[in-house]
Amino acid sequence: MKAGVIGLGMGMAHLKGYLENGIEVAGICDTDRVLLENIQKKFGIPFATFDYRDLVGVQDIDIISVASPDYYHREQCVDGLMAGKNVLCEKPLALNLEDCIEIIKAVRKSGKKFMIGQVCRFAPGFVLTKQIIDSGEIGELFFVESEYAHDYRVAEGVGKWRKDPRRKPFIGGGCHAVDLLRWIVGDPIEVFAYSNHKCLVDWPVDDATIAIYRFENGVMGKVFCSIGCIRPYTMRSVFYGTKGTIISDNTSDHILLCSTRYFKEKSSYNFAKIPVEIAHHNVAAEIKYFIRRIENNEAVEMNETEGAKTVATCLAAVISSQENRKVDIREELFNQFVGL
Ligand SMILES: NC(=O)c1ccc[n+]([C@@H]2O[C@H](COP(=O)([O-])OP(=O)(O)OC[C@H]3O[C@@H](n4cnc5c(N)ncnc54)[C@H](O)[C@@H]3O)[C@@H](O)[C@H]2O)c1
């Protein structure tokens, strides 16, 4: 198999991820001429172009990574799929439902494999958290929370593409926290959210949002997203179960676990530190997973529908905060994916 990569910011992690997995990168695309030439030279890549349509036209490329700014995901994914390529798309799948729907339709029409790069599903701390929860160690979940706290003053993106009114931070960045909760808990059914605009006053969007979700299984959830907070980046998450609690994130070398089992052993409610590797952008593992699914013709769990449902769950919170009302996620949003 050979790969092609579109967008060489986060796309560099894809390029290296393919190489680490023994996959040749046969082509790259970026609109920045200097960057493109430098990367082509440095990695000895046979084909380089400014126009993604040339890249998806290269015959012997089997997989395309779409790692361009969010606005381009739809056209690049759709054209890649229709050119017969398997596609790995960076999160978020898109910034609105129309684009999600077009990508879903293209996957179905092309019959190619598609994966959304919700990379937190490969962060060692979160993988271990899910394993412990699935094992029953902390009992039945009743409250979960996650946050995406980042200072975008230092991450505007090349050409300041993140500073665009179409990119709601709760979709663009908050999708990490929302997807994490969906992965661990399941689908939420309704949301109420508030947002404000006190940190990045020169940005065209609200920079902080808090969303309260109710899940299908009665679990309550909270997601906080800030793109203007003054602190190191974090995705601190807490999982409360009837028999224990886990605190984890994707930037620490451990997770914290407190459970009734530990209480019996130690007679106190201390948190146990469980070591984990730090790998918050574990794209190599994501690529390994995708290659296996392609090679064995197996279903991809993190598929186009999962990506679209995460976007819809985020969008529901944006609608709620803008219209000051509770949003029924299934009725107003998920229903639009039925029958595609
Ligand atoms: N998984 C994660 O944790 C994670 C982290 C960062 C970014 N992302 C996602 O990755 C994507 C890229 O973000 P980034 O941080 O790399 O941005 P970036 O601004 O650092 O890099 C984007 C690159 O794409 C190029 N580009 C712009 N328009 C293009 C086009 N039409 N065709 C080809 N190349 C184009 C730019 O020149 C730039 O080199 C976004 O969708 C973003 O949401 C994901």
Residue-wise pLDDT tens digits, 82-127: 999 999 999 999 999 999 999 999 999 999 999 999 999 999 999 9
161 alpha carbon – ligand 1 mean position (Å): 9
pLDDT digits (tens, 9 = 90+) for 117-144: 999 999 999 999 999 999 999 999 999 9
Per-residue model confidence (pLDDT) at position 306: 98
Q: Are residues 180 and 129 in the same domain?
A: yes
Mean pLDDT value across residues 216-231: 96
Using alpha carbons, select from 298, 182, 278 the residue that is nearest to residue 234: 278
Q: Is the pLDDT of residue 270 over 90?
A: no
Residue 325, in any domain of the structure: yes
7 alpha carbon – ligand 1 mean position (Å): 5
Kindly state the helix (H) or strand (E) to which residue 131 belongs, with its residue range.
helix 124-135
Per-residue model confidence (pLDDT) at position 281: 87
Q: Is the pLDDT of residue 269 over 90?
A: no
Q: Is 206 in the pocket of ligand 1 (CB under 6 A)?
A: no
50 alpha carbon – ligand 1 mean position (Å): 14
pTM of the model: 0.97
Mean pLDDT value across residues 74-81: 98
93 alpha carbon – ligand 1 mean position (Å): 13
Question: Taking a C-beta distance cutoff of 8 angstroms, is the pair 333, 305 a contact?
Answer: no
Q: Atom of ligand 1 at shortest distance to CA of 283?
A: 1
Give me the domain span that covers residue 190.
Answer: 121-278+312-330
Mean pLDDT value across residues 198-203: 97
What type of residue is 150?
Answer: H
Q: Are residues 150 and 232 in the same domain?
A: yes
Q: Is the pLDDT of residue 294 over 80?
A: yes
Per-residue model confidence (pLDDT) at position 7: 98
Mean pLDDT value across residues 168-197: 98
Q: Is 70 in the pocket of ligand 1 (CB under 6 A)?
A: yes
Q: Are residues 90 and 176 in the same domain?
A: no
Q: Atom of ligand 1 at shortest distance to CA of 157?
A: 19
Residue 336, in any domain of the structure: no
- Residue whose CA is closest, atom 1 of ligand 1? 119
Task: Band the pLDDT of 265: cuts 50, 70, 90.
Answer: confident
72 alpha carbon – ligand 1 mean position (Å): 10
Q: Is 69 in the pocket of ligand 1 (CB under 6 A)?
A: yes
Q: Atom of ligand 1 at shortest distance to CA of 73?
A: 41
Question: Taking a C-beta distance cutoff of 8 angstroms, is the pair 315, 171 a contact?
Answer: yes
Per-residue model confidence (pLDDT) at position 279: 85
Per-residue model confidence (pLDDT) at position 243: 96
Per-residue model confidence (pLDDT) at position 83: 98
Residue 231: phi and psi, rounded to 5, are -175, 165
Give percent of the chain with pLDDT exceeding 90. 95
Dihedral class, residue 170 (left if φ above 0, else alpha if ψ from -120 to 50, else beta): alpha
Strand intervals (E) in 269-321? 272-275
Per-residue model confidence (pLDDT) at position 264: 72
Using alpha carbons, select from 317, 155, 161, 92 the residue that is nearest to residue 224: 317
Q: Are residues 150 and 23 in the same domain?
A: no
Mean pLDDT value across residues 255-261: 93
Q: Is 102 in the pocket of ligand 1 (CB under 6 A)?
A: no
Per-residue model confidence (pLDDT) at position 268: 75
Q: Are residues 226 and 149 in the same domain?
A: yes
The CATH number linked to 52 is 3.40.50.720
Q: Is 157 in the pocket of ligand 1 (CB under 6 A)?
A: yes
- Residue whose CA is closest, atom 6 of ligand 1? 10
How big is the CA angle at 157 (ends 115 and 54), to the nearest 5 degrees? 55
**Number of domains present in the structure of the chain:** 2
The pair of three-digit structure tokens given for residue 95, joined into one six-digit string: 């910034």
Placement of tokens 């012997």 in the chain: 60
Residue 215, in any domain of the structure: yes
Q: Atom of ligand 1 at shortest distance to CA of 29?
A: 33
Per-residue model confidence (pLDDT) at position 319: 98
Mean pLDDT value across residues 279-289: 93
Residue 60: phi and psi, rounded to 5, are -90, 15
The CATH number linked to 269 is 3.30.360.10
Per-residue model confidence (pLDDT) at position 280: 80
Q: Are residues 127 and 254 in the same domain?
A: yes
Using alpha carbons, select from 180, 143, 169 the residue that is nearest to residue 280: 180
170 alpha carbon – ligand 1 mean position (Å): 17
324 alpha carbon – ligand 1 mean position (Å): 32
